[in-house]
Amino acid sequence: PLPSEEPQQEKSKPESPSSQALPVRAVLEELKVSSVTPNSVELQWRVPEGSFDSFMLQYRDAQGQPQALPIDGGSRSVTVPGLSPSHRYRFHLYGLWGRKKINHVSTEAVTAAEEPEELSLPTEEPQHEKLQTEAPTSEAAPATAVLEELRVSSITPSSAQLQWSVPKGSFDSFMLQYRDARGQPQSLPIDGGSRSVTVPGLSPSHKYRFHLYGLRGGKRIDRVSIDTVTGEAE
């Protein structure tokens, strides 16, 4: 573990003079794993002092290829989808001012073992039927929660950024579901306060259909869907 961390520490030294020019010192700490599934990891962190324009999460996928996930500067958690079961990952989170890396924290996580019975749940498309069975529960909710306007805000050959709005009520959390390029179902849990998400690990020039569900008390209350095609490989 020590040798792998050394380059990071050395790298931050040349960039430290730029932090002296900042109006406020920005501090990034306590990167920790809040949950794991066979194909995703949720990470959380703190910014006890100052603020960052954005964050960048870097890690290597199961094939050893480097991945970079840009994150909004207001975020304090991220879910990394498209991972492989029972695999150890090392995550590096960088705090950025402009394009400069000011601070970084790292952590390791091992994804859960594969659970075939869970993965088979979203394989078919019984979403419409499910919504009808669950509709009565929304009447018991204290306020109607409405989810709408799912749209693609940016696209690259390997990622898609989605945005949505909640014009009425609120949700405990969201769940994004889609099939990867191999046709395997993927589920990405999202914090209830979020209104955007970046989905990494996609394949170039591939059509994806994304379903975003709004959850209250573990039940799906509302959903929106969208189709998009990733960019061509450069």
What is the spatial distance between Cα 195 and Cα 208, in angstroms, rounded to a whole number?
Answer: 20
| Across 69-78, 80-89, 117-126, 172-181, least confident range | 117-126
Residue corresponding to tokens 């492989």: 84
Amino acid 149: pLDDT:
86
For the chain, the average pLDDT equals 78
Amino acid 24: pLDDT:
61
Amino acid 89: pLDDT:
92
93-126 pLDDT, tens digit each = 999 988 888 888 999 988 887 754 433 344 444 4
Residue 106 CB burial class (10 angstroms; 0-12, 13-18, ≥19): middle
Contact predicate 210/226, CB 8 Å: yes
Query: What percent of the chain has pLDDT above 70?
Result: 77
Amino acid 72: pLDDT:
86
Conformational region of residue 99, where left means phi above 0, alpha means psi within -120 to 50, and beta covers everything else = alpha
What are the φ and ψ backbone dihedral angles of 165, each rounded to 5 degrees? -130, 155
Select the more confidently predicted residue: 6 or 49. Answer: 49
Residue 134 has pLDDT above 80, yes or no: no
Most confident of 76-80, 129-133, 139-143: 76-80
Residue 205 CB burial class (10 angstroms; 0-12, 13-18, ≥19): exposed
Amino acid 143: pLDDT:
60
Residue 8 has pLDDT above 60, yes or no: no
pTM recorded for the entire structure? 0.45
199-230 pLDDT, tens digit each = 888 888 888 999 999 988 778 888 888 888 88
Could you give all domains of the chain from N- to C-terminal order, each with its CATH number?
A: 30-111 (2.60.40.10), 149-230 (2.60.40.10)
Instruction: Taking residues 186-195, report their average pLDDT.
Output: 86
Amino acid 115: pLDDT:
54
